[in-house]
Structure formats: structure tokens, C-alpha cells
Structure 1
Amino acid sequence: MINDNGTLVQSNEATLSPMNRGLLYGDGVFETIKAVNSKLLFWEDHYFRLMASMRILRMEIPMEFTPELLEEQLIDTLKASDLSDKPARIRITVYRNEGGAYLPEDRGVGYFIQAKEISNPFYVLSDTPYEVELYKDHYVNADILSTLKTTNKVLHVTGSIFAEDNGYDNCLLINNKKNVVEALQGNIFLVKGTHIKTPPLDDGCLRGIIRKQLLAILPLMNEYTFEEASISPFELQKADELFITNVIKGIRPITKYRKKTYTTTVASALLQKLNVKARLG
């Protein structure tokens, strides 16, 4: 089922106008949320990130776009899709209303919601091989727009094709200052000894929801030091551990980059704490 501005329709009956600005100009933002038994994990963080993204894109936020209303619409979509008692990936896409060229005639918005079943209600550490490579065909701009989840993700699309064509599980993206920013599907964390780092938002990395949770958890782990700092490509092969974070997988360890292999000790410890935070949140 698709939720089209509050109306539930069958997926095969849903239509997209050829004048939709999300299609024509990438003029939209989205949130992908993990739901377990109709509980939206980290919903408050998702909601405020969505509102902040809309403000940055100068969209007019409707008065009725309260956290309660949007949560209700998301849960209604889960119910209509027979996913209310299952783990699911649910996405809300907000687009600016039709009209105009680059300059919109209407700064109001519409939305649609779609849901899909996923396999695991908990965050589980995968022990399968996971190899990455740098994607250097195009760069992430080190600016605030790159930190948003917009509907313009061509860089990630072409990077995903590159990864598949070359037998990699994922790629790491580089910004225009030649620093490692993130992975195709999430934020990147690097561990060297007892020191952990992740790129700062100023480098253009996604303002990730799980990234935010780990930034709250890590200062409480006295056995490690932590910083938000730029990561050079040269640091990757000197690291003891690399892992990727996103809301669906939680924490995904990288096992290989070029000739370097990595451990998963820190990722494993963090995943336990993340599951606790997800249940309590």
C-alpha cells in the first residue's frame, strides 16, 4: 500500500504526476525509518531531522505536520500493508508542490509513504565478508546540502552501480577536499587502537540518525577516546576497524579494504548498546 497525502491506495494504483518536483528537480527530502511491531525506532530524531531539512530547502511546513500526525500516517501505512506486527522499513518522501521551473510557484508540500518488510527486528552484527573501495568518479560537496537526505542521490546511485560492477559490497565516498566522508548507505566510523573517529558534518557527511545515537553512547565508554575529525584515505589501511551505520542495519562492519582486513570488536560492543537504546527509545 502507498499513503498518498493521507489516502491509502494499492501500490499498483498509485500514480506520480510528470510535473512532480521531486522527479523533475530532486526537490524533495525523505526519511527511512525502521519499525518493529508498529514502533518507529528513534522517531523523534527522524521527525526533527525531516523538519530541519525542509527548512533548509525553504519548504513551507504545514501546520498539521506535527509528530503525532505523521506518526499516525506512518503507522496507518504499516497496518494497511499488513506490517503492524512485523519488522519493516518505512519511508516518507516529502516533495514541493507542482509548478514553476527552478523557481517554484508554490512552496507548499505533499508526501507519500511506503513500507516494506525486513528480516530482523533487532540490530544484528553480520559476520559475512564485506569489502569496500573508494569511489572517486565524483565527489561529495563539503556543505550543508550534502548532510540532508534529499531525493537527489545520483552520486549514490552511480557509486552503487560501480560497486556492483566491480564486485564490492559498498563504496566509501570522498568530498571535494579529498577526505573520506561516508559510505553509500551510511556513516563511516574508524577505530585505531582505543581511539574512534567519524567525519564531522562540515565535511559533508549525512546527518545520520544512528550516527547521532553513537555520538551519545561513545563518550560514556571510558575505555575509548572519540572525536569528530576528517578521515584521510591514507588512514583506512592503518585502522584496526571500520564500520558503517544506518537505521536499517544498525552497524555493519567492514571486513576488507584493498589488502587490509579488520576486526569487529568495537562494532560488536556498540551494537549491544545500540539495541538497548532502540528498545528504550
Structure 2
Amino acid sequence: MINFNGAILKDSTTVFSATNRAFKYGDALFETIKVTNSKINFLEDHYFRLMASMRMLRMEIPMDFTLEFFEKEIINTTNSNNLEAARVRFTVYRNDGGMYTPTTNTCSYLVEASPLNIVIKETYTLDVFKDYFLYSGLLSTIKTTNKITNVLASIYAKENELDNCVLLNEKKHIVESINGNIFVLKDSIIKTPPIEEGCVKGIMRKKIIEMLSKSTDYILKEEAISPFELQKADEVFITNAIVGIQPVTNYKKTTFKTTISKALSLKINSLV
């Protein structure tokens, strides 16, 4: 079952026309949300990120699109699918009309829920995707449906039997992985690319930064990272709202430890 503008429908129901702007222009945003025990993890963070992103794209936010409304629509969708634990995608798109210039800034939304299936791999291989770049700047930091670079990198990873790829920006700095933010640990310093490099403002990224900022064991730095730094790292890990922390074990000929990554994972899991 899906939730289309508040109506619970069969997932086989046609809800889009050929003039849909998400389809034609990628004029849409989405949040990927983890629900456990019928509770939305980091609810406020997801809601306020979506609201900020809608404002950036000059979408008209309805007066009733409150935090409580957002929560209710998600839980209605998971309940309709008989799911207490779910992976939820909440997509907002500008309504039909116009070409590049829209005729309206009003929006519709679609909520989908699927069973939560989390697998933390013990062996996890990573390499750099060099065919195309992401671009630094604010638009790259929001979760739009313009994800063709991620799609191509995913195909590359599959063809080369990799678990994930590092995406670079036009400066050839590390931005993120295909499906999450990236952290690099060397000695007691943990580095992650700053927002200015073009990485998505990940919810899990935010939580880990908040946690590490209070730690006396590590020094957190948000600064540009070269791909060459990966080969010298002690540990590397990837973060997203569904998996939490996925330690990386192999990059090219380098093998990483996972001790700190796993310890941080236990701490972050205690927050929800």
C-alpha cells in the first residue's frame, strides 16, 4: 500500500501523469526514513531537513504540513502495510504544469514503506568512481531525485564486484559514497567532507558529528579529503539513516580495521 496525498492506495495504482515534474525534470525531493517499533527514528531531523529543502527549491509548503502531520502520514503508511519496522521513502514533488518554468509551486507527496532489512557486511569493499563528478554547492547537499551519478556509480560497483564507490566533486575531492556520507579515521582524527564540498546533509552524519564533538577521544574535522588519504587511513566508514554505520574493510590494496567504527555504531544505535 502507498500513501498518495493522504489517500491509502494499492501500490499498483497509477498516481502520476505523463506531465509529472518529478519524472520530466527531477523536480522533487525525498527523505529515506527508518521506522522501528512503529517509531520514526530522528523524526524532527527528517522533517526540518525536508522543510528547509522545500524552501530552497521554492516549493509552496501547505499550512497543515506540520511535524505532527508528517509523522501521522508516515505511520499511517507503515500501519497500512502491517509494518512495525520499515524503510520509508517520503517524496515531495512540484505539481504538474509548465516546462522548465513551473505553472505552480504547489506540491504533492507520495509515501512508500517496505520491510526493514538491514545487513551490516563484515567484508565491505570500496573504490573511487571517476567517470563523472558531483558538483560542490548547496544544491548538491539536498536530497533531490536527480541522482544519475549515483545510479551510474552503482552500476560500476556491480560490474566490478564492489560494495560501494566514493564519489568525487569537480575539485577531485571526496564528497560521499553512493548511498551515504563518509568518515575517515587516522590516529585520533576523524575527518568528513564539509557541506561546501557538495555532500548531502545526512541525518546520521549530523548525529555522528554531534556525538564526536562531545568526545575527548577523537578530534573531528570537517575538511576536504583527497582519495589518496583513504590508503593511509586506519578506518573508513559510511553512514546513512537506514544502516547507521557500515565499516569499510577494503579499498584497493588497503585493508582497514573496524574496531572504532563498530564502537561508534553501538553508541549511535543507543540514541534511537
Is the shorter-chain TM-score for this pair beyond 0.5, marking a shared fold? Answer: yes
Counterpart position of 1:182: 176
Misfit runs of 4+, over 3 Å: none
Q: Distance in 1 between matches of 2:198 and 2:3?
A: 31
Q: Which residue of 2 aligns with 1:80?
A: 80
User: Which moves more between the two structures, 29-38 or 15-24?
Assistant: 15-24
2:60 alignment partner, SS class: coil
Report what 2:9 is aligned to.
Answer: 9
Corresponding position of 1:217: 211
Post-superposition offset of 1:215: 0.7
**Cα distance in 2 for residues equivalent to 1:127 and 1:12:** 33
Structure 1, unmatched stretches of 5+, are: none
Query: Equivalent of 2:244, from 228, 233, 250?
Result: 250
Secondary structure of residue in 2 paired with 1:11? coil
- Give 1:275 deviation, angstroms: 1.1
Task: Give the Å deviation of 1:243.
Answer: 0.3
Match of 1:112 in 2: 110
Q: Is the 8 A contact 2:235 2:257 kept in 1?
A: yes
Maintained 8 Å contact 1:30/1:94: yes
Match of 2:40 in 1: 40
Q: Contact 2:97/2:103 (CA < 8 Å) preserved in 1?
A: yes
The aligned counterpart of 2:258 is 264
Q: Which residue of 2 aligns with 1:130?
A: 124
Superposition pairs of residues 227-242 of structure 1, within 5 angstroms: 227-242=221-236
Structure 2 CA distance, aligned partners of 1:272 and 1:45? 20
Structure 1 match to 2:149: 155
The question of whether the paired residues in 1 share the 8 Å contact of 2:121 and 2:246 is answered with: no
Q: Which residue of 2 aligns with 1:166?
A: 160
- Please state how far the C-alpha of 1:164 moved relative to its aligned partner: 0.3
Identity %: 49
Deviation at 1:149, TM superposition (A): 0.4
Give 1:14 deviation, angstroms.
3.6
TM-fit CA distance, 1:132? 0.8
Aligned letter for 1:152? N
Shift in Å at residue 225 of structure 1?
0.9
Partner deviation per Cα, 1:236-272 (whole Å, 9 max, x = no partner): 1000000000011000011100000001122112111
Which residue of the partner structure matches residue 67 of structure 2?
67
- Specify the code of the residue in structure 2 equivalent to 1:257: Y
Amino acid at match of 1:199: P
| 1:95 to partner: Cα distance | 0.2
Q: Which runs of 5+ in 2 are unaligned?
A: none
Instruction: Find the residue that maps to 1:13 and give its secondary structure.
Output: coil
- Could you tell me how far apart the structure 1 residues matched to 2:252 and 2:117 are? 30
> CA RMSD, aligned part only?
1.0
One-letter code aligned to 1:31: E
**Given residue 178 of structure 2, which amino acid in structure 1 is its aligned partner?**
L
1:127 CA drift (Å): 4.9
Distance 2:106 2:242 in 1: 30
Q: Distance in 2 between matches of 1:209 and 1:114?
A: 19
Match of 1:27 in 2: 27
Shift of 1:104: 0.3
Deviations 1:199-235 (A, max 9, x none): 0000000100000000110022211111101100110
Whole-angstrom distance in 2 between the partners of 1:271 and 1:128: 14
